[in-house]
Chains A and B, each alone.
Chain A
Amino acid sequence: MTPAYRHSATARAVLRSLVPVICPPDAVALADAIVDHMELTLGTTPGLVRRILPIGFAAYDLGAVPRFGRRAQSLDAARAERYYARWERGPTPVHVEFAHALNQVMSLACYEQPEMMERIGYRVGPWIAEATKKRLTVFADDVRAQEKQILAPDPLRPIAKQEVA
């Protein structure tokens, strides 16, 4: 599926600089995959959000210049942390919501990485396979009976269209 949204160069650089701020230290090596994943997620958001995002990233990037003398994407780790924390606290609700949304989407992307799931012991694929097999073997007769019931005749009313006509 082709995402309807593509990170701009600025967005990609800003997001990459935020990976060490938002994600755990052991996820930093996965920064590119995390940023790519965010593109997929943001691609499904409402069109209005997708249109506003580039403005948000540009504002975040350039907003660092007055205080730090360089764009957000070029800040070192300590300054990037301080700058993001300022957005988290304000100065306006828009800043707060933007920072919060970035945290949400990046945290989601981070723990969608197979390596991160493996590290915390979330091995859901094999579990689904095991559960599915159990259902279709141990409960095979009941499963079949339910499937038959779904299709079996059981008219709501003793009337057919032909009678209406």
Chain B
Amino acid sequence: MVALHEAPSPRNVFTRRDVTHDLVLDCDAVIVGSGAGGAPMAAELAEAGFDVIVLEEGSYYQTRDFTANTSQMVRQLYRDGGATMAIGNPPIMFQEGRAVGGSTVINGGMSWRTPDDILARWREEAGIEDLTAKALEPYYERVERRIHVAPMDEAAIGNDNWLLKKGADAKGWEIVGNLRNQAHCVGSNRCPFGCPTGAKQSALVSYIPRALHYGARVYADVRVSRITFHGKRATGVVAKSANGHHVVVRAKLVVASCGAIHTPALLTRSGVKSRSNLLGGNLSLHPNVKVVAIFDETVTGWQGAHQAFQVREFADAGLGCFAAVNLPPSVVAMSVPHRGAQLGRLMADYDKMVIAGLLCEDTTTGHVKTIGGRPQAFYQLSPHDAANIQRGLELLAEMLFAAGAKRIILPFHHVQELASADDARRVFNKPIPPHGWEVVTVHMMGTARMGSDRLGAVTDAFGFVHDADRLMVADASLFPSPCRVNPMETIMALSTRAAGHLIDNAGRYLS
């Protein structure tokens, strides 16, 4: 059987090989970015009969291209090889996908609706009255159907996740089966490097094929330099292909779906100003940290589904979840401060490791500044969030020791190893200066926040930029504040909702 995504490249996907001269293209809607925001928008508008062009800076890969070569996958699928960083103390490494399908190609596939209390906060902060669970329900349902959100097949759950559950159960803590966009994930545990089995229903294998099926055109390897305007009205984009050809797209509507780091940069490069002064501001990013727990038993954590469970016991306290997240040996080796013989001894126990992380719902914000046309994120972890993360690490360590861990490596540059829960309590009894912490994230949000008040938000409730015409944002930039859970499904639901609004008002926006 040849899977859909392994068929020959669709004829309306254009890569650098196909762009052999300068191009001028016309369409109804041009969408910049092909990830969780751009791909659903493209599919919905294309199915409604509109002429859609998607421009993606990264390349077009298919499932067969996703191999066991971790570093090659990182080089191909991650922006700047994953070496992107928000400046602060500590600096926070963040990762963005740069390929057709965007970050959905490299995420873990966790698919959760934004909790009701967060939506209530968004309604209050953003003044968007219909941002309720009930109003979003049909969009969430539609997204969940399309990307096949489902609990894991039990047979695909690996030992690392069972140990996480054992620890949570021993502590009596709430643990839930993860919902993921997968159709019979068989636990290759390669989610962050492109799913090699085709099970993860990323935008690459769901919304993008759908968009193509209904006539959308996807141009890969094309970087948009700016949006063009006639007065306040967006009229298209100017871009350049990877092989140096100019690509001009003339469109009735421009949608920026480049993610919370690059969308504000694109808008700023294009001369867009927001009277709210919030374009590029309000950056939140769910800081997360990981520990390496070493057990006596063989775990073989690389065989089994990525994040089969989430511990939710402390979600109300700002610790969104604890989860087991297996990483290949090379990534573990680069994440720990060990070196030399000490690194060798640690890595000899690779098959006995459970790598577990926690996600912090941050209470402060940073910003994205556009310098020389390129975005640079700045984010200073607040003392409150640092203390919360420290508390979370203590709890995570307690849980892993309850599961039988023999020692735990902490995410600090200076080697910190715990041998027991008592050890954890002792180490975390006093504040640990954040300098030297290893903090990472993949959830950047909020840099073009939506809201009804043009003085307090960059876009309106559907993502239309307040201070421009026919220019939309459809990605996590819209979030008024952190969503506490994995953001992909909400990005898709909001994008679908916005597409519905466009179709309902096509005479105004797409004529």
Contacts and interface: CB of A to CB of B under 8 A. Distances in A.
A160 B196 contact: no
A44 B81 contact: yes
B309 interface: no
A62 interface: no
A156 B48 contact: yes
Interface string A28-61: 0000000001001101111001000000000000
Contacts of B70: 112
A108 B161 CA distance: 24
B340 A23 contact: yes
Interface string B272-285: 00000000000000
B466 to A, nearest CB: 25
Contacts of B339: 21-23, 103, 107
A124 B331 CA distance: 14
Contacts of A124: 68, 190, 302, 328
B44 A156 contact: yes
B186 interface: yes
Contacts of B332: 111
B329 A117 contact: yes
Interface in B70-84: 70-71, 74-75, 78, 80-81, 83-84
B24 interface: no
Interface stretch (A6-14, A65-73, A139-147): A139-147
Given A117-B329, A140-B1, A46 B84 contact: yes
B402 to A, nearest CB: 27
Given A22-B339, A151-B209, A156 B500 contact: yes
A157 B504 contact: yes
A27 B333 CA distance: 13
Contacts of B347: 24, 111, 116, 120
Interface residues on B, range: 35 or more
A165 interface: yes
Contact of B511 (A26, A44, A147, A165): A165
Given A24-B347, A112-B70, A132-B196, A156 B496 contact: yes
Q: Quick one: which of A1, A109, A150, A160 has the most chain B CB within 10 A? A: A150
Given A41-B75, A143-B3, A161-B50, A121 B201 contact: no
B318 interface: no
Interface in A102-124: 103-105, 107-112, 116-117, 120-122, 124
Given A107-B333, A127-B303, A135 B199 contact: yes
B57 to A, nearest CB: 14
Contact of A120 (B188, B210, B350, B499): B350
Contacts of B328: 111, 122, 124
Contact of A107 (B80, B334, B504): B334
Interface string B292-311: 00000000001100000000
A94 interface: no
A120 B199 CA distance: 27
A119 to B, nearest CB: 8
Contact of A44 (B48, B75, B190): B75
A131 interface: yes
Contacts of A156: 44, 47-48, 142, 496, 499-500, 503
A1 B374 CA distance: 24
A24 B184 CA distance: 39
A45 B330 contact: no
B496 A25 contact: no
B176 interface: no
A140 B329 CA distance: 32
Contact of A135 (B148, B198, B201): B198
A127 B188 contact: yes
B433 interface: no
A128 interface: yes
Q: Quick one: which of B344, B500, B504 has the most chain A CB within 10 A? A: B344
A78 interface: no
B377 to A, nearest CB: 12
Interface in A89-103: 96, 100, 103
A100 to B, nearest CB: 6
B510 interface: yes
A109 B339 CA distance: 13
Interface in B146-204: 146, 148, 183-184, 186-188, 190, 196-199, 201
B341 to A, nearest CB: 6
B504 A135 contact: no
B500 A128 contact: no
B97 to A, nearest CB: 14
Contacts of A165: 511
Nearest to A38: B71
A122 to B, nearest CB: 5
The 4 closest A-B pairs by CB, nearest first: A24-B344, A44-B81, A161-B49, A111-B330
Given A40-B75, A103-B337, 19 more contacts: A23-B344, A24-B345, A44-B74, A45-B83, A96-B413, A109-B330, A127-B302, A131-B197, A135-B198, A140-B1, A143-B198, A150-B4, A151-B213, A154-B142, A156-B496, A160-B49, A161-B28, A164-B506, A165-B511
27 contacts: A23-B340, A24-B345, A24-B347, A25-B344, A26-B344, A40-B75, A41-B71, A44-B74, A44-B75, A45-B83, A46-B84, A103-B339, A108-B334, A109-B71, A111-B330, A111-B347, A117-B330, A120-B329, A121-B350, A125-B67, A127-B302, A134-B186, A136-B1, A150-B209, A154-B47, A161-B49, A164-B511
